[in-house]
Chains A and B, each alone.
Chain A
Amino acid sequence: MERFLTIDKGLMDNFLERVMEYYQLIAPVRTEKGVLFEYISGKEEVDLTYSGHTILPPKKFFFPPVEEMFVYEYEDSGNIRLYDLLDEVSKGKRVIVGVKPCDINGLLVLDKVFTGEYNDPYYAARRKNTLVIGLTCNRPMEYCFCAYLNTGPFIKRGFDILLSDLGDKYIVEVGSEDGWKLIKFNLDLFSEARRDDVEEREKLLMKVEEDIRSKGLPYFETIEGALREKFLDEMWDEYGKKCLACGKCNFTCPTCRCFTITDEPNPDLKSGKRVRTWDSCHFLSFTRVASGEVFRRDRPSRFKQRIYHKFVYSINEIGSISCVGCGRCVEVCPAKINIMDVIKEVTFGVKPLSAKIGED
């Protein structure tokens, strides 16, 4: 479905207002902390001018940091009842607006991870009830490297509608039937796009791509083979010394999805809930079993787990690297460990072995 329209910037507010009549709206909001995705109560909160990325990726609305899965309750008779909280998740319709291409690709990675032999119903329910309105970038930030992974600034799928900022208007690409419906009922706000609008978007994104590529990164084609070769390299000890194992890189990553599951009893101790919480492979407790044994005890091995899962194991798991080049992990790292430096170091002098990256 290739269909282009435009909407004047002045009319965007009207569009969002109308969307809010039928949907819960999630959008980027500028706060003193930075730009965050939040539920919106008034259209004036929405900020579609942000560059780069929000602090946490939109995954928090699809796979929340703390998810209550079900409630258990002992009845007075001694019987036990379970109440599945999935039913709650399935209710309501949402629109998330302003999702950048890297983050859209992050969701596409999670889609692959959470489906297959088993399906994660909580994630699936939220994906199903949420329309995605993407927003392309006009300017890359310091740590953006999506262009090397084909996860941006151009994007072909994963959105219902895609917006690009052309100054006084947005050019709007329709990406799905649901996206078209959203526009169709508000067609009075949109005009047909002219050919030069589409060309202008192309030029704009090309410029962003060039800016990112001017950083001179290595090509990711060689990364899998290089990592396989260097599993026992001494370089990891150095990163292990630097890494503070704080877990921020995992939590801000659009594709990290490891979690733990616990029971939280209520004060009466006769009822309670099962909860899943984000976990990080950098924490010592991540691999701990009941006997107390920890399978990844030294820090370099835990540092490696994140890198290897993203660039090696993921290829077998979902058919592609699971890094989308958003640069969040670089930005939030207190020790300023730069994943791009890691990749440069690993791939230095290594010839390409495999090439499976980004979208197929």
Chain B
Amino acid sequence: MVSNPYLPKLAKIESIKDEAPETKTFKIKILDEKIRDSFNFSPGQFIELTVFGYGEAPFSITSSPMVHENFSITVRKMGNVTKGLFRLREGDFVGVRGPFGRGWPLEKMKENDVLVIAGGIGLAPLKPLIEYIILHRKMYNNVKLFYGAKTPKDIIYKDMFDEWRKYIDVELTVDFAEKDWSGHSGPVTVLFKNFQPSSDNIYSVQCGPPIMMHFVTRQLSSIGLPPEKIYFSLERNMKCGMGFCGKCMTGGRYVCKEGPVFNYSEVKNFLETPV
């Protein structure tokens, strides 16, 4: 019997954590032990999550790639699948397919500076990368996170930053500052104000709303990063994850299979402009 790649593996929600308004992190455990043990992913990859009766949608894996017992996704309530997911409680069933796609260029970035730029919930696919870098800290040079959110309330993984700051630089900004906010305010590009890459050996990785990626990419190019060192994760309507359904195709490339991580030099060759 051939295994059917459309059939989700049954899994249970182990825990649910509030991150921000309408945003939660779900820790998910695949029931079958064998499948669970063979569930390996690379930071930046995604899964297709089923909420039975509501459908299936793609979510980036946000937990550390070193953990095999379970994995996490961070979800903002948006469409029907996330609405259904938000109705579920700990112990409820979901379905999982994947992991799918191509993640961040871990190998290429070694021995280089890494600039991580995230907007809003776009930090989700970058969290496993940051955790991977921290675990292999000696292999990477200067590592910096620029993170922007709409308001201080919308910042996700609030409890992680202190831990991360022990290993990497973290700078935050919010579009709309509130009274008790003492940090930067404005779009994430304000964090570039005093930033100059210390050497040519620098990679940047980013994920956020298309408009953010557009301006950040312009900024990065203007400070001299070559296109092949600017990476981003694209969001598309990825229904099957295997390059069959055609919905995520952008400029002839399947974002689900060949992405979702692309570098700017690849994207420049797309006929359609995705960022």
Query: In the complex, A touching B, CB below 8 Å?
Result: yes
What residues of chain A have their CB less than 8 Å away from a CB belonging to chain B? 69-70, 72, 74, 79-80, 82, 84, 86, 113-114, 116-122, 124, 228, 231, 257-263, 265, 269, 272, 274, 276, 279, 281, 286-291, 293, 295-296, 301, 305, 308-309, 312-313, 316-317
- Please give, as numbers and ranges, the residues of chain A lying within 8 Å of B245 by CB-CB distance: 258-261, 276, 279
**Contacting pair B247 A313 (CB below 8 A):** no
Tell me whether B35 is interfacial, beta carbon within 8 Å. no
Interface residues of chain B: helix, strand, loop or mixed (majority): loop
Contacting residue for A290 out of B53, B78, B272, CB 8 A: B78
Within 8 A of A (CB), among B1-41: 2, 4-8, 10
CB–CB B236/A119 < 8 A: no
With A289-B236, A290-B79 known as contacts, the answer to whether A313 contacts B244 (CB < 8 A) is no
Residues in chain A near residue B53, CB distance under 8 A? 72, 263, 265, 269, 272
Within 8 A of A (CB), among B93-142: 93, 95
B197 at the interface (CB under 8 A from A): no
B249–A121 CB distance below 8 A: no
Q: A82-B8, A289-B237 are in contact. Are A258 and B2 (CB under 8 A)?
A: no
Task: Please report the C-alpha to C-alpha distance between residue A240 and residue B5 in the assembled complex, in whole angstroms.
Answer: 37
Distance A229 CA – B79 CA, assembled complex (angstroms): 38
- Nearest neighbor of A69 in chain B, beta-carbon distance: B6
Looking at the complex, which of B54-62, B167-175, B260-268 is the stretch in contact with chain A?
Answer: B54-62
B 241-260 to A, binary, CB cutoff 8 A, 1 in contact else 0 = 01111110111100001000
- Chain A residues, Cβ within 8 Å of B246: 257-259, 279, 281, 309
| Contacts A/B (CB < 8 Å), 26 sampled | A69-B6, A72-B52, A72-B53, A74-B52, A80-B10, A82-B10, A82-B95, A114-B244, A118-B243, A121-B2, A259-B240, A259-B244, A260-B239, A261-B240, A263-B53, A272-B52, A287-B236, A289-B79, A289-B237, A290-B78, A296-B272, A309-B246, A309-B252, A312-B271, A313-B249, A317-B252
Cα distance A72–B8 in the bound complex, in angstroms: 10
B5–A121 CB distance below 8 A: yes
Chain A, residue nearest B272 (CB): A301
> What is the distance, in angstroms, from B219's C-beta to the closest C-beta of chain A?
22
Q: A276 CA to B4 CA in the complex, in Å?
A: 14
On whether A290 and B271 interact (CB within 8 A), knowing A80-B10, A261-B240, A279-B245, the answer reads no
CA distance in complex: A316, B266 (Å): 14
Report the separation of the CA atoms of residues A293 and B246 in the bound assembly, to the nearest whole angstrom. 17
Q: CB distance B252 to A70 under 8 Å?
A: no
List B contacts of A86 (CB < 8 A). Answer: 4, 7
Q: Would you call B55 and A261 a contact (CB within 8 A)?
A: yes
Closest CB in chain B relative to A144 CB, distance in Å: 26
**Which A residue's beta carbon lies closest to that of B52?**
A72
A249 to chain B, nearest CB (A): 14
